[in-house]
Amino acid sequence: MELLRGQPAIAAVRETVDGTSPLAAICIDPDARRGQPLRIVAIASPHRAVLIDAQQTPTLGETLSQLCPLGAHEAKTVQRALLNAYEATLPRWACISLCEQLLAGGRDVDMSLGAIGQRYLQMQPPALDGGFEAMGAHTQALAGIIAAQ
């Protein structure tokens, strides 16, 4: 899977998000989830993933702020990383974790991403730290979960 930069990355993001129903998913690299500078952003529908070099695509934050809501696992962490990198972010989010809590209706269920993936996709999303292909597949799985929720 290719890491896109600049205008080709922006065009691919728009193409991926525009045709996605109900929502596309967004994911960030594992180091950024731990508070390090944002390096890679993945945007996906259930059928297509795009990987973006965050540091070489300075207009990504502005582009994302103009798009429809995106979904993410632990969306607050993703939003914080985007704000730190671009000082712009999406005005609205869908959070897989929060949606799952609401759908559980107070029942005691496993809220780990692996368990959520098993419930909706009959598989756990691939690990984020397995390279570009795995990150793309992980984000596509998130999009599938969002569609199923």
- Nearest to 97, CA basis, from 111, 115, 117: 111
- pLDDT, tens digit, for every residue of 129-139? 899 999 999 99
pLDDT for 109: 95
Kindly give, in sequence order, each residue whose CB lies less than 8 Å from that of residue 74, ignoring residues fewer than 6 positions away: 33, 95, 96, 97
pLDDT band, residue 62 (cuts 50/70/90): very high
Residue 41, pLDDT above cutoff 90: yes
The answer, yes or no, to whether the previous bond of 22 is cis (omega within 30 of 0) is yes
Percent with pLDDT over 90 in the chain: 84
Mean pLDDT, the chain, as a whole number? Answer: 93
3-state secondary structure of 61: helix
- pLDDT, tens digit, for every residue of 93-111? 899 999 999 999 989 999 9
Distance of alpha carbon 3 from alpha carbon 70, whole angstroms: 20
- Average pLDDT value for residue range 111-115: 97
Looking up tokens 């974790």 gives 97
